[in-house]
């Protein structure tokens, strides 16, 4: 059976070059040292970690000493939100307030709700029917006790690119730290943290060719003292993230960043053509389909489409039987019977939200993959529509 993977927003295949780069740091006769050790084995590991830090920094226009290695996006979002709120509380003795949006990843939303349970404040700015947040709404939600604004760069379900530069500028005008969850953007889109105006940026390696379990946090130099360490330990990562560094993962992440910087532009154009080929064919040739999200302002690899009057899980299962992997939304929310919180926040009714599939393409996809998906999808939808009690022909 042919296998087609169209779920790259959930995770990506590890690039062959990143595997080759990390293998010497896994081998018993290789460079296995602890980077905190002072002897030759530790120095080898430390030098490699610092080279990787430089590669990461170069990808996003940062200084190497502004890059901190983490386990991934969830830790990074926790580090940003809890780190700023707890640090502010320690300095002022007051429980601060965070502003975010209603369509953030659960790694942000659930942390904010957890902090609310501890007595901190949180506000969730709305989005419009296309899933776009208005900087004016975010600004309106800022209060005198707001210490952090956290808005994602690109939405994981719709691919929408939010106006984070405007929001960062607004936050700074209010004297507030700005964080962006850029997990779905780093490695796919050109990012310069100075242009964005981000104080803190979160990224995850497995979204662009590195292994799972490694990510990084950009923290602007003068903001670093404003972060309470989420993980206390032996003083690694300048005291902001304790624990022995994941050296093989860090080496792989550095290599993935080098590959992204080298190949991003060429891959973007090719993947966008494939995405548009798939999307246009579905919307034109399959009845009762509609695009969710902004048509233009989105990451080039993502298409979220509703198949009205059908449960998306049924389509997903039947595509899976054909060897085609797609998603009904965030991989972190799989198994949740509730409609997508992103589509719900956009005001889409149950008919659209329960029938939504996300197609997210990657550099390994081909025209043959897209055509195979289109050919498999059409009869599946036709069959399910015929069975649907909601559909009237």
> What distance, in Å, lies between the first and last C-alpha atoms of the chain?
33
Exposed, middle or buried, 228 (CB in 10 Å: 0-12/13-18/19+)?
Answer: middle
Cα–Cα distance measured from residue 68 to residue 218, given in angstroms and rounded to the nearest whole number: 6
Six-digit token string for 209: 């060719």
Residues 209 and 13: beta-carbon distance below 8 Å: yes
User: CB-hemisphere CA count at 13 Å for 351?
Assistant: 10
How crowded is residue 271: how many other Cβ atoms within 10 Å of its Cβ?
22
Which residues form the catalytic set? Answer: 332
158 phi and psi angles, rounded to 5 deg: -95, -20
175: its two tokens: 């004297």
Q: Half-sphere exposure (CA, 13 Å, Cβ side) for 313? A: 8
- The two tokens of residue 137 are 């709404």
State the DSSP code for 132.
Answer: P
Alpha-carbon gap, residue 150 to 152, rounded angstroms: 7
**For residue 17, what are the CA distances in angstroms to 27, 54, 172, 255, 258?**
16, 18, 40, 7, 10
Cβ neighbours for 271, distance < 8 A, ≥ 6 positions apart: 300, 301, 361, 362, 363, 365
* 170 contacts: CB under 8 Å, gap ≥ 6: 135, 138, 139, 142, 149
Q: How far apart are CA 213 and CA 300, in angstroms?
A: 25
300 Cβ contact partners less than 8 Å away, ≥ 6 residues apart: 188, 189, 268, 271, 272, 275
């Amino acid at each position: 059976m042919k296998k087609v993977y169209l779920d790259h927003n959930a995770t990506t295949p590890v690039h062959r070059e990143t595997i080759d780069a990390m293998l010497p740091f896994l081998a018993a006769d290789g460079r296995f040292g602890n980077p905190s050790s002072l002897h030759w084995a530790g120095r080898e590991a430390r030098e490699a970690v610092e080279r990787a830090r430089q590669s990461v920094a170069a990808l996003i226009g940062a200084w190497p000493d502004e890059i901190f290695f983490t386990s991934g996006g969830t830790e990074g979002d926790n580090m940003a939100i809890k780190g700023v709120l707890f640090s502010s509380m320690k300095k002022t003795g007051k429980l601060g307030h965070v502003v975010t949006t209603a369509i953030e990843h659960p790694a942000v939303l659930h942390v904010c709700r957890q902090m609310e349970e501890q007595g901190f404040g949180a506000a969730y700015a709305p989005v419009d029917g296309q899933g776009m947040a208005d900087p004016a709404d975010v600004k309106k939600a800022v209060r005198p006790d707001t210490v952090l604004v956290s808005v994602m760069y690109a939405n994981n379900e719709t691919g929408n690119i939010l106006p984070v530069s405007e929001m960062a500028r607004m936050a700074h005008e209010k004297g507030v730290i700005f964080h962006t969850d850029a997990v779905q953007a780093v490695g796919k889109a050109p990012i310069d943290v100075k242009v964005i105006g981000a104080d803190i940026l979160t990224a995850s390696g497995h979204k662009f060719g590195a292994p799972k379990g490694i990510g990084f946090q950009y923290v602007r130099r003068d903001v670093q003292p404003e972060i309470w360490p989420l993980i206390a330990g032996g003083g690694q990562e300048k005291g902001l993230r304790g624990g022995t560094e994941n050296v093989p993962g860090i080496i792989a992440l550095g290599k993935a960043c080098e590959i992204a910087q080298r190949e991003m532009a060429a891959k973007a154009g090719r993947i966008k053509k494939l995405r548009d080929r798939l999307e246009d064919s579905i919307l034109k040739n399959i009845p009762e389909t509609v695009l969710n999200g902004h048509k233009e302002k989105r990451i080039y690899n993502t298409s979220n489409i509703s198949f009205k009057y059908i449960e998306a899980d049924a389509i997903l299962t039947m595509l899976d039987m054909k060897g085609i992997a797609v998603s009904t939304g965030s991989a972190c929310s799989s198994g949740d019977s509730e409609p997508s919180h992103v589509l719900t926040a956009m005001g889409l009714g149950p008919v659209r939200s329960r029938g939504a599939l996300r197609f997210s393409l990657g550099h390994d996809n081909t025209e043959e993959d897209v055509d195979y998906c289109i050919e498999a999808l059409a009869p599946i939808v036709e069959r399910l529509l015929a069975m649907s009690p909601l559909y009237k022909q």
